[in-house]
Amino acid sequence: MSTRWDLAAYSRENQRVLVVEVKSKLDTTPEWAARLRRNILAHGIFPNAPYFLMVFPDRFYLWAHSLADLKAIEPAYVIDARPILQPYLEQAGITTEQVSEQSLELIVVSWLNELIHTKKPPDEVDHTWQWLVDSGLYYTIAGGSLDYEVLVLKVASSYEVPYGLRPQDAIVYTSVISHLQRNTPSAGCFLNRNSKDFDNPDIVDELAKFNCTMIPRFDHGLGFIQARVQS
């Protein structure tokens, strides 16, 4: 059992207000999620935050102000995750059934960042976000920040073998992908002279999904940027 949460969100006052546990299991029930929560807390992993969110590819479960209770308490909110996650899954070219736990974690980072930095007043949010308003979480994390350093290290390790990356290069690449998922450009580039490690067809294809081009030479990168500035 991990002793760290997958993700944590902080308020504007830098107080931890949300912890998130991400799993790739499908077709869970509130009763099953309640037992998982009880088991997590029974291991002494106390988040010390008013909100606890469990994320699955097809469902979200949210508990509010009840984390000190070790009983199998069912979540206060059970949310259909599909309309929330679908735009991110489509962008990544995967389905709910195909998404890995690491990919889902990065998608949740993108979604939470959008939530934290949204400028929409509560009465203008999409209906799929109404539970955030009703629970008070929408106001609590607005303008706050997200801690996902541990997630980056974990996801980076999953890139090492399939892409043949060294640990430090895998961290760099994970950070790039994470940024692109949060802020997909109309046209962008990954400028890195280490073409020996990064000029991999699979890496090039994954970057292309986010409108990003791998450029191994700085002079070519300068030309790319100047062309975009002039256009």
Range 71-104 burial, b when 16+ CB lie within 10 A, else e:
eeeebbbbbebeebbeebbebbebebeebebbbb
Q: How sure is the predictor about 231, in pLDDT bands with cuts at 50, 70 and 90?
A: low
pLDDT of 70 above 80:
no
Residue entry with tokens 């469990």 = 54
Structure token pair of residue 98: 């195909």
pLDDT confidence of residue 46: 62
Q: What is the mean pLDDT of residues 165-170?
A: 82
Residue at 200: amino acid letter: N
Contact 116, 110 (CB under 8 A): no
The more confident residue out of 124 and 192 is 124
What are 80-133's pLDDT values in tens digits?
A: 999 999 998 988 788 999 998 878 988 898 899 889 988 889 889 889 999 999
Looking at every residue in the chain, the average pLDDT score rounds to: 85
Structure token pair of residue 26: 């499908």
Provide the CA 190 distance to its chain's centre, in angstroms. 20
Distance CA 169, CA 164 (A): 10
